[in-house]
A and B are shown apart, each in its own frame.
Chain A
Amino acid sequence: MLYRETGQFKISYAADQSVFPIAQDRWFIAAALAFAFLVVPWIANEYMLQAVLIPLLIFSMAAIGLNLLVGYAGQLSLGTGGFMAVGAYMTYKLTTAFPDLNIIVAFLLAGLVAAGVGLVFGIPSLRIKGFYLAVATLASQFFLLWLFNKVAWFYNYNSSGTITAPPREMFGVVVTGPTATAEVRYTVALSIVVVFAIIAKNLVRGRIGRSWMAVRDMDIAAEIIGIRPFQTKLMAFAISSFYCGVAGAMLVFLWLGSAETEAFSINESFNVLFMVIIGGLGSILGSFLGAAFIVGLPIFLTNAPQWFGAAMPIDLQKHIEIMLFGSMIIFFLIVEPHGLARLWQITKQKLRLWPFPY
């Protein structure tokens, strides 16, 4: 009833090709963005921002990056943690070497370095596919973490190998370091994620995205119609690594404040891959939904017993949380193997026919 496109006529090509062709979608996105930018920083407390929303945004960014590679270009990668580490360590090097450099610029430059590293580790993708490629990217994960652990230059020769986010200002407001408020860090993270989500959304519906999907669906056919598989795959690796690198920089500088390589372990690579799979392969919205699921659900399950006044030993609670989390993943994958984004599409379809969906 509310969600009906009857009467919305497209009278120009631009309108027909817009990102959100349905007016209700545009209003919804605008309202959600306005809420996220203008209302959330005022109503959310520090716990909510620091423990839930900031990691949610950061992992959404990483999931978008991996989704471009796995979901759109069809190249399975387990190196996400390694590429995130490149972003984090390069930002640290840049901002300690050039303290006056704007921190966002440092993020982007570090993302470019991560893109370069992604290019190198993407080269095997021309020869190997599927699970074999996953194993090759696994090598990048282990190699990069080993490198950042071993070469003291990356962490400025301090004794512990930990990188710490120094205080950096932007327009007179402290955005990183201990004195940066959670609200500021949330707003910065949100701005970065929104800008790059829009870029990703446009990438995947343009020439580049279409060539990725062609390679994903059948690379020989793609080659025959004139898409160069090598360049296409490498570009997917580079752009995906750029997103992951920026996400890694945000992880250290806007969320944790200090980190060692352990923060980018193989578990993080798996986590981001699960976000992409649960959220929906080949969907930008799915990256957000998947991140919300993987980041939010454990925190919800940890806190839920307390809200309902059911006190139990903390180790028992943790074990129940792990079991519930695992069964929820299986449940959602059985009910909708195409991920949460597909659920949203079905909902949209039904809403159009509401009140008589079939």
Chain B
Amino acid sequence: MLRNLVLAMLGAVVGVTGVVATTPAQAEGEQFFPMLVYRTGAYAPSGIPIANGFRDYYTMINNRDGGINGVTITFEECETEYNTKLGVECYEKLKNKGPTGASLINPFSTGITYQLIPKAAVDEIPILSMGYGRTAAADGRVFEWVFNFPTTYWSQASAFIRYVAQQEGGVDKLKGKKIAHVYHNSAYGKEANPTLEALAEKYGYELTLLAVDHPGQEQKATWLQIRRAKPDWVFLSGWGVMNQVAVKEAAAIKYPMDHFVGNWWSGSDADVIPAGAGAKGYKSATFHSPKSDFGVHADILKHVYGGDVAKAKRNSFGEVLYNRTIVNAMFAVEAVRTAQGKYGNRPLTGAEVRWGLENFDLTEARLKELGMEGFTRPVKVSCADHETGGPILIQQWDGAKWNIVSDWVQPISEVVRPMIEKAAAAYAAENNITPRSC
């Protein structure tokens, strides 16, 4: 009896996995945004505010404006656990949904972005990897379908060095200084290394590279090395649970927190709160305000949560990563709007949205209309430059909230841009791509 049951179940399992996944039909007049999210696993502390941010901004646009110029936004989440293999499955599942397929994709994982970059041109779905992914994609001549504005890892790392120079009192003071880079041992964490190395040669500081293996819960050895080497500055490229562990460990060895600077993926509320008072003074890069009193926030509160602030807070409202996702979702919506200016107010294909991304011109006036004046900066993308080399801000945790403590710090473009072009050319040669002329 039991045997028969087991056999029947086995048959069912093997049989049903063979069923072809069907795509539910969706009505006309809808623009589909796929969402690769990670609400579970070691990266959930970073993934949850991101997923909530996208959901809330798209919902707000639908509820407030009735969509993008009347075209309703639809979206669907797919759980990746920040795992590249699951990312592939999710991408395949979502890429053809909606009347025109996926408009653009925000992988929010450098590993998944790497995987999707070659596919983007074939499937004609542009990638908007805002401040992550492959830095070389900033060269739009080679990477036609990939956009990483407003700024990249390499620009960020160079801006960090410029910030250190400012704090130390000039570029010449960098000579002989010790800077350590604690990074997630993956494509993501390694991204900043070439820039830091190139600048170390140029300015004569001493660079120590310290890798932390996935998922980053064990960093005792790393911080022991830091305690021994006593670097003047520590730069952190962490993600998920790795960030809070790093901040805790730094506090435990009494490292001066105001000389400990995270990149923009290592500076959200979830990263510092677990370390308690020890996290006070910790800094991180960013490219938008950490505050939540802008017009866009009021609109989300009103149109998504019906004014229920407590409920909104439970859904990560106002956290740094939530705010960053608002910027990302706004870029996506405005890119579609830009493309609608050329192709008309209807659901657009990925190729049409790509045009919108390439001709993306977000002005100060437009930011004001969106209720984001002072929230982030204007961005103007061009055919050759998919990054725009935007400057960064430094924010600092005061024990209760993040505050901006610097002016806009410009990246060292004269070093970074040639490196980007060189890396892009190497990629083009390896993959038989002929760069287009811009």
A262 CA to B136 CA, complexed, in Å:
21
Evaluate whether A47 and B21 lie within 8 angstroms (CB atoms) in the complex, with A178-B118, A318-B79 already known.
yes
A156 CA to B175 CA, complexed, in Å:
31
A276 CA to B89 CA, complexed, in Å:
23
Please count how many residues in chain A sit with their CB below 8 Å of the partner chain's CB atoms.
Answer: 59
Q: State how many angstroms separate the Cβ of A311 from the closest Cβ of chain B.
A: 10
Q: Contact: A51 with B191, CB < 8 Å?
A: no
Residue B190 is within 8 A (CB to CB) of chain A in the complex: yes
Residue B214 is within 8 A (CB to CB) of chain A in the complex: yes
Most buried by A among B10, B20, B427: B10
Q: Contact: A314 with B39, CB < 8 Å?
A: yes
Interface segment, A105-113, A192-200, A242-250, A340-348?
A340-348
Q: Contact: B187 with A166, CB < 8 Å?
A: no
A166 CA to B427 CA, complexed, in Å:
10
Q: State how many angstroms separate the Cβ of B316 from the closest Cβ of chain A.
A: 13
A69 CA to B71 CA, complexed, in Å:
58
Q: Contact: A160 with B191, CB < 8 Å?
A: yes
Residue A3 is within 8 A (CB to CB) of chain B in the complex: no
Question: Which of A40-63 touch B at CB < 8 Å?
Answer: 43-48, 50-52, 55
Q: Contact: B39 with A315, CB < 8 Å?
A: yes
Q: Which residue of A lies closest to B48 (CB)?
A: A315
Q: Which residue of B lies closest to A321 (CB)?
A: B79
Q: Which residue of A lies closest to B187 (CB)?
A: A160
Residue B77 is within 8 A (CB to CB) of chain A in the complex: yes
A328 CA to B85 CA, complexed, in Å:
22
Interface segment, B11-19, B160-168, B218-226, B302-310?
B11-19
Q: Contact: A292 with B135, CB < 8 Å?
A: no
Q: State how many angstroms separate the Cβ of B328 from the closest Cβ of chain A.
A: 19
A242-275, CB under 8 A of B: which get 1 and which 0?
Answer: 0000000000000111111011010000000000
Residue A299 is within 8 A (CB to CB) of chain B in the complex: yes
Q: State how many angstroms separate the Cβ of A114 from the closest Cβ of chain B.
A: 20
Which secondary structure characterizes the binding site on chain A? helix
Residues of B in contact with A, size category: 35 or more
Q: Contact: A51 with B40, CB < 8 Å?
A: no
Q: When the two chains form the complex, which single residue of A48, A159, A255, A328 contacts B194, counting CB atoms closer than 8 Å? A: A159
Residue B134 is within 8 A (CB to CB) of chain A in the complex: yes
Q: Contact: B85 with A164, CB < 8 Å?
A: no
Residue A82 is within 8 A (CB to CB) of chain B in the complex: no
Q: State how many angstroms separate the Cβ of A90 from the closest Cβ of chain B.
A: 17
Residue A319 is within 8 A (CB to CB) of chain B in the complex: yes
Q: Which residues of A contact B211 (CB under 8 A)?
A: 149
Q: Contact: A263 with B190, CB < 8 Å?
A: no
Residue B43 is within 8 A (CB to CB) of chain A in the complex: no
Q: Which residue of B lies closest to A298 (CB)?
A: B86
Q: Contact: B21 with A48, CB < 8 Å?
A: yes
Question: Which of A259-305 touch B at CB < 8 Å?
Answer: 259-260, 262-263, 265, 289, 292-293, 296-297, 299-300, 302-304
Q: State how many angstroms separate the Cβ of B25 from the closest Cβ of chain A.
A: 14
Seed contacts A51-B93, A332-B6, A347-B7; 14 additional CB < 8 Å A-B pairs: A46-B92, A47-B20, A50-B89, A51-B92, A149-B185, A160-B114, A161-B186, A178-B122, A256-B88, A260-B187, A297-B13, A297-B17, A336-B6, A343-B10
5 smallest beta-carbon distances between A and B, as pairs: A178-B118, A296-B17, A315-B39, A160-B187, A51-B89
Instruction: Report 29 cross-chain contacts, Cβ distance below 8 Å, ordered by A residue.
Output: A45-B21, A46-B92, A47-B92, A50-B92, A96-B430, A149-B185, A159-B190, A160-B110, A160-B191, A161-B186, A161-B187, A164-B118, A164-B427, A256-B84, A256-B85, A256-B115, A258-B114, A260-B84, A296-B14, A296-B17, A297-B17, A307-B22, A314-B79, A317-B79, A318-B39, A335-B2, A335-B3, A340-B10, A347-B7
Q: Which residues of A contact B (CB under 8 A)?
A: 43-48, 50-52, 55, 96, 149, 156, 158-162, 164-167, 177-179, 255-260, 262-263, 265, 289, 292-293, 296-297, 299-300, 302-304, 307, 313-315, 317-319, 328, 332, 335-336, 340, 343, 346-347
